[in-house]
Amino acid sequence: MSPRKRVTMHDHAAEASLFKRRALFTFVCVVALLGVLLTNLYNLQVSEFADYEMRSNDNRIRVVPTAPSRGLIFDRNGQLLAENQPFYSLELIPEKVKKVDDALDKLNNIIPLSADERESIKEKLKYHRRFKPLTIKTRLTPEQVASFSVNQHEYPGIFVEAGLKRYYPHQELMTHVLGYVGKINSRDKATLEKSGAWKNYAATKDIGKQGIEKYYESLLHGKPGHLEEEVNNRGRVIRTLKVTPPEPGQDIYLTLDLKLQQKAMELLAGRRGSVVAIDPQDGGILAMVSSPSYDPNAFVHGISGKAYSALLNDKSRPLINRATQGQYAPASTVKPHIALMGLEEKIVTEKTRVWDPGYWQIPGVERKWRDWKKWGHGWVDVYHSISESCDIYFYDLVYKSGIDKLANFMEPFGFGQSTGIDIFEESIGIMPSRDWKRMRYNQPWYVGDTISVGIGQGYWTSTPLQLANSVVTLANKGQRFTPHLLKSLKSGTVKIDTPIDELPPIELNNPRNWDIINEAMRQTAHKSRFTDAKYTAAMKTGTAQVFSVGQDEKYDEDTIADHLRDNALIVAYAPYENPTIVLAVVLENAGWGGANAGPLARALLDEYLLRDEFMVTQ
541 strand-pairing partners = 570
Taking the CB of residue 25, how many other CB atoms lie within 10 A of it?
A: 10
Determine whether the annotation assigns residue 29 to a binding site.
no
274 strand-pairing partners = 290, 586
The alpha helices in 112-207, defined as continuous H runs, are: 115-125, 142-151, 175-178, 186-195
Alpha-carbon distance values, 163 to 220, 247, 312 (Å): 17, 16, 30
Q: Is 17 a catalytic residue?
A: no
Burial status of residue 254 (CB atoms within 10 A of its CB: 0-12, 13-18, 19 or more) = buried
Give dist(CA 374, CA 358) in Å, integer: 5
Give dist(CA 298, CA 308) in Å, integer: 9
- Residues with Cβ < 8 Å from 18, sequence gap 6 or more? none
| Under 8 Å between Cβ of 179 and 423 | yes
Secondary structure of residue 235 in the 3-state scheme: coil
3-state DSSP percent of the chain in helix, strand and coil, to 5: 40, 20, 40
* Structural element, H or E, at residue 300: helix 297-300
Taking the CB of residue 470, how many other CB atoms lie within 10 A of it?
A: 26
Taking the CB of residue 490, how many other CB atoms lie within 10 A of it?
A: 15
Give dist(CA 281, CA 285) in Å, integer: 11
Dihedral over Cα of 157, 160, 163, 165: its sign: positive
Give dist(CA 53, CA 59) in Å, integer: 10
Return left, alpha or beta for 82; rule: phi > 0 is left, psi -120 to 50 is alpha, else beta.
beta
Determine whether the annotation assigns residue 356 to a binding site.
yes
Give dist(CA 330, CA 463) in Å, integer: 8
Q: Which of 332, 389, 433, 470 is catalytic?
A: 332
Determine whether the annotation assigns residue 484 to a binding site.
no
* Structural element, H or E, at residue 562: none
* Structural element, H or E, at residue 319: none
Give dist(CA 516, CA 524) in Å, integer: 12
Alpha-carbon distance values, 223 to 124, 245, 246 (Å): 29, 9, 6
| Under 8 Å between Cβ of 529 and 598 | yes
Give dist(CA 469, CA 464) in Å, integer: 9
Residue 310 identity (one-letter amino acid) = A
Pairing of strands 581-587, 567-574: antiparallel
Determine whether the annotation assigns residue 371 to a binding site.
yes
Give dist(CA 168, CA 82) in Å, integer: 5
Q: List, as residue ranges, the binding site for Zn(2+).
A: 356, 371, 377, 390
Catalytic residues: 332
